[in-house]
A and B are shown apart, each in its own frame.
Chain A
């Protein structure tokens, strides 16, 4: 991959929660308009890693970071970086669908509104576009004023994706987006990720190795806070280089 295609790159990233080190010297290049999957056992640091990218770890007390996370060549931890703008450009979808307890419409309009869009027509457009992009418009187009929490789990998660798309990000971080969903809803989200990657750079943390294999172009394997192996997904799953990667993906752990 050419360096001009790298959208995000972590360089020697270390992270401590208090005195416990959660990330050790992690360096990963994330290619533009590709899906990069992060896999590894629980507590290996993969979720912690993506939370460094949009600085969600800022919210956690006692969290300390060294190293760099370059977004379009610029370290997101530089002093004059506006976190609000950063998080607007790097969206995030969480493990559990977390729609706000308001209407479907207001959920999608939430982001644009806090970033200053007030005009009704403009909001209507954003809501429709986002829901369409998240493959949810056909299901909820007629019931936009219904509470978002009335939707099924899978619909809620797509709503959360639509909500993220509404602020027009460049990157979307998925933190185990399907772990609370049934297989059909999971398949729909995976299809959606495949479509979205044409317009967005996607990073997905997943416990489900088959999911990583299905949706991603590149895969990084984490173990105990270290990034053990990074490569093309087809290589990682057919012939990993590192023994521990092989042991993990073939279920020979511990």
Chain B
């Protein structure tokens, strides 16, 4: 094996991405938990934690640029760096969306939800599972797992449709529920976006391993 330091750096970048993925996953999980429990404190922790995530994401980007500039990666290394730059963006956007959810939790405060939250935590659970699963695909360079993961996005999309319709019905029935319902619509929308980002990551993993550019949603 030659260029040892270079290859160590490449391994390190992968580990940094996995770390960022964990951080983003925790944000999503915590923000939805906080929403369900009206836990403003927990929501604020998510908002505060975002700075650390942005920091870590910036570090990944810098490392990638440095590898490109100094090591001229080729072939699968080049694809890995390219994929990481995209995945990095997706993960960073995912945690931003978690922050948005947390902000809504803060805005709602103690005000009771207009209905028991069932589908939204389900969406969050699927999104987090997708994230875990695609991170595993990334770390194992496993395109099959990435393909399989991307399929879960359909469930999230279906749930989003269902939640949205339900909330619209509630709003039509009782205009007083509009404030809370529109908040929840946004949360559902954010989770749906998180699912899309997870799907993007699946695409990046497939490209990274095979070189094929695929559309999975």
Which residues of A does B touch, CB under 8 Å? 209-210, 213, 237-240, 245-246, 249-254
- Chain B residues positioned under 8 Å from A240 (CB to CB): 75
- B2 and A253 contact, CB distance less than 8 A: yes
A residues in contact with B77, CB < 8 Å: 250
Is A252 touching B211 in the complex (CB atoms < 8 A)? no
Of the candidates A209, A239, A250, the one having the most CB atoms from chain B within 10 angstroms of its own CB is A250
Collect the chain A residues with CB atoms within 8 Å of residue B210's CB.
239
Interface readout for B2-18 with A: 1 if CB under 8 Å, 0 if not? 11001100000000000
Number of interface residues of B (CB under 8 A): 15
A-B contact count (CB 8 A): 39
Give the distance to chain B from A239, nearest Cβ to Cβ, in Å. Answer: 3
B70 located at the interface, meaning its Cβ lies under 8 Å from any Cβ of chain A in the complex: no
A-B residue pairs in contact (CB < 8 Å), sample of 28: A209-B72, A209-B74, A210-B72, A237-B74, A237-B78, A238-B75, A238-B79, A238-B211, A239-B76, A239-B210, A240-B75, A245-B75, A246-B76, A249-B74, A249-B75, A250-B73, A250-B74, A250-B75, A251-B3, A251-B6, A251-B74, A252-B1, A252-B2, A252-B3, A252-B7, A253-B2, A254-B1, A254-B2
Residues of B within 8 A of A249 (CB): 74-75
Smallest CB separation, A210 vs chain B (Å): 5
B143 to chain A, nearest CB (A): 13
Q: Which of B3, B6, B72, B75 contacts A239 (CB 8 A)?
A: B75
Q: Which 3 A-B pairs have the closest CB atoms?
A: A239-B211, A251-B3, A249-B74
* Nearest A-chain residue to B78, judged by Cβ: A238
Smallest CB gap from B4: residue in A: A251
CB distance from A246 to the nearest CB of B (A): 5
